[in-house]
Chain A
Amino acid sequence: MVEPRPSAPTGCEGTEVVIEVDGLSMVYSERGAETVALQDANLSVLNGEFVSLIGPSGCGKTTLLRLVADLIQPTSGRLEVAGKSPRQARLDREYGYVFQAPVLYDWRTVLKNVMLPLEIMGVPRDERRLRAARLLERVGLSGFHQQYPWQLSGGMQQRVSIARALAFDPKLLLMDEPFGALDEITREAMNLELLRIWEETRKTVVFVTHSIPEAVFLSGRIVVMTPRPGKIERVVEVDLPYPRDPETRESERFFELATEVREALRGGH
């Protein structure tokens, strides 16, 4: 169903399906009121793909991500992650999750927060430290190892949470608006950094965003969602060649694609 992107680097990319979403629905019922957060969603994410979910607030982006992460159970439909049930995938630590809020432990220093998943996974102490320090450097927080989360700005906290998700090197990254709290300049820098990491490691990334330019700049495919009930409206293929750099944002094709996404978003109303 999805062709390998013609311009993508070859070699690391398979046709292996990492996330298989098949007729997935999620209905929240609270005190008699029912919210259809996700209705009959169908989607396949291939190994090494960068896929964005975009849509207005309340269209079920977080819900879809949480279903994949086995943090909630679907009302109906089938879901497979890395060829397993979501629960098994979670227990096998197949994915790293960046929450919409930073969710740092306030009794741990920045360094120790990044080391948390490694502690759970029983990585030896010295290696924990080494890996956490390296990732903090990647997100530009080298000088903040011993600070506590509340001593950092909101954007810095979110960068810590990204470093934490990358710490155990998961093959699949689920990112829920990771850069939502950042200013435009830091955001673009982080976009580039994430793209570098992705190009190097070829992780599969599912990335939630509200920003059309961000989605176009980063993704190979953009899943456009619409609310009430939350559903997948369209999938836009982004045929901009990788590796991308800041100039990509100025290209004509970039604007065409942004317009296409914008129209798809409007189409849901």
Chain B
Amino acid sequence: MKPIWSALAAALMAGLGLVVPYGVDDRSLGVAVAGLPGTLLTALVLLLAATGRAPAVALLIPSGLAGALLALLRLEGGGGPGYWLLFWGFLLASLAATGRISLVEADPDEGPLLQRLRGAIPAGSVPLVLLLVWQGLVVGFEVPKGIFPGVHHVVEVLTQSYPVLLNDSYVTFVKEVLLGFGVGLLGGFLVGVAVACSTLLQRGFLPLAAAFGAVPIVGLAPVLGRAFGVDWESKAAVVVIVTFFPVVLNTVQGLVLVEPLKLELLQAYGAKPWGIFRKLRLPNALPFLFNALKLAVVLSVISVIVAEFLIPGPPEGLGQRISLSARRGAYDVVFAAIFLSSAISISIYGLLSLLERRLTGWHSSFREEGA
């Protein structure tokens, strides 16, 4: 395997960072703190990487990231050319190694741990690099916290004001999203079953439901606020509506769109409608239902945040936290709230995907992996 030229170039950048001024006014601190250990580590790993071994290339990633992180430790005063060289050099080195490692072909001899690592590295290092770029720019350009907070400001908020944020998350996700989601799912499913059973409803109700799916429901938020009060109930109502329509549509489709031959098979056994529903229609609808749920989760989170913007009530909930903090220029809190809400909704989505895989692993969309 060839040595990694891009990584070599990146290391050269980092090395060059040692001899040019690090900060705007001094250089010694940067050399001592960031330059030396980082560069030494990188040099060592590059040596190994030149031999082309996958584990060595993998080592380049954390060392590059660590080097970039070390460069950030210098927080006073803006960055000079040395700072930028070191910083970008290390980042590029780790990115190059990431690209490299995702291209390396799987070696049948390597253990399961290493294989898993190989899968996790690209997925894990890209977000890290993004965070580092954000932080690097904020520190390097000395962006004031009131305009754009650094990562460390957000972390600070998360660690210091977590009781407030936790309560906000509880209100938004448990009271509003989870409850609304549950009601919307159950109601949507039952209505979907009723619609699937009745030709009249299919003709009359379905086009209406499809049209409703295109209505920007959050626009109704102020109306719902009037109807249900400004507390969490009105926001949960938004979630119910947002969940309801995709669930109805997909339930109906899943129940109705069965292969005719699969239906005839059961008819040949003299199966009763209930048997046909349980043995054929329901399993057939499951993949459709999960698609609806995944769509509904994303829609729900967006809608609930916007609804909290639109229906100001008691100062609770992540959406209200965002709008209140933004109004007083506390962007670190805004980012912390955004971070929390995306982390939670990603987790819900992941949980749903996991459940989907368990329950509908037979479906064609998963087959590649099952085979």
Which candidate, B179-187, B239-247, B257-265, is the interface stretch facing chain A?
A: B257-265
Q: Which residues of B contact A107 (CB under 8 A)?
A: 283, 286, 360, 362-363
Q: How far is the CA of A120 from the CA of B286 in the complex (A)?
A: 20
Q: How far is the CA of A78 from the CA of B363 in the complex (A)?
A: 43
What's the least CB distance linking A104 to chain B, in Å? Answer: 9
Q: Does B203 contact A (CB under 8 A)?
A: no
What's the least CB distance linking A127 to chain B, in Å? Answer: 17
Q: How far is the CA of A91 from the CA of B273 in the complex (A)?
A: 13
Q: Which residues of A contact B364 (CB under 8 A)?
A: 106, 150
Which candidate, A49-57, A95-103, A193-201, is the interface stretch facing chain B?
A: A95-103
Q: Which residues of A contact B266 (CB under 8 A)?
A: 120
Q: Which residues of B contact A106 (CB under 8 A)?
A: 362-364
Q: Does B113 contact A (CB under 8 A)?
A: no
From 246 to 292 in chain B, residues with beta carbon under 8 angstroms from any chain A beta carbon are 259, 261-262, 264-271, 275, 279-280, 283, 286
Q: How far is the CA of A117 from the CA of B269 in the complex (A)?
A: 6
Q: How far is the CA of A77 from the CA of B268 in the complex (A)?
A: 21
Total interface residues on B, CB under 8 Å, equals 23
A99 contacts B261, C-beta separation under 8 Å: yes
Q: Does A12 contact B (CB under 8 A)?
A: no
From 80 to 111 in chain A, residues with beta carbon under 8 angstroms from any chain B beta carbon are 90-93, 95-97, 99, 101, 103, 105-108
A93 contacts B270, C-beta separation under 8 Å: yes
Q: How far is the CA of A107 from the CA of B265 in the complex (A)?
A: 15
What's the least CB distance linking A212 to chain B, in Å? Answer: 27
Q: Does A1 contact B (CB under 8 A)?
A: no
- SS of B interface (majority): helix
The chain B residue sitting closest to A101, CB to CB, is B261
From 178 to 213 in chain B, residues with beta carbon under 8 angstroms from any chain A beta carbon are none
A103 contacts B279, C-beta separation under 8 Å: no
Q: How far is the CA of A95 from the CA of B269 in the complex (A)?
A: 8
Q: How far is the CA of A113 from the CA of B141 in the complex (A)?
A: 66
A92 contacts B268, C-beta separation under 8 Å: no
Q: How far is the CA of A185 from the CA of B98 in the complex (A)?
A: 52
Q: Does B367 contact A (CB under 8 A)?
A: yes
A105 contacts B283, C-beta separation under 8 Å: yes
User: Are A93 and B269 CB-contacts (below 8 A) given A107-B283, A107-B360, A107-B362?
Assistant: yes
Q: Which residues of B contact A116 (CB under 8 A)?
A: 265, 269, 279
Q: Does A130 contact B (CB under 8 A)?
A: no
Q: How far is the CA of A119 from the CA of B270 in the complex (A)?
A: 12
What's the least CB distance linking A261 to chain B, in Å? Answer: 29
Q: Which residues of A contact B275 (CB under 8 A)?
A: 120
Q: How far is the CA of A148 from the CA of B265 in the complex (A)?
A: 18
B positions within 8 Å CB-CB of A: 259, 261-262, 264-271, 275, 279-280, 283, 286, 360, 362-364, 367, 370-371
Q: List 19 A-B contacts (CB under 8 A).
A: A71-B264, A71-B267, A71-B268, A92-B270, A96-B268, A97-B265, A101-B261, A105-B262, A105-B280, A107-B360, A107-B363, A116-B265, A116-B279, A120-B266, A120-B270, A148-B362, A150-B362, A150-B367, A150-B371
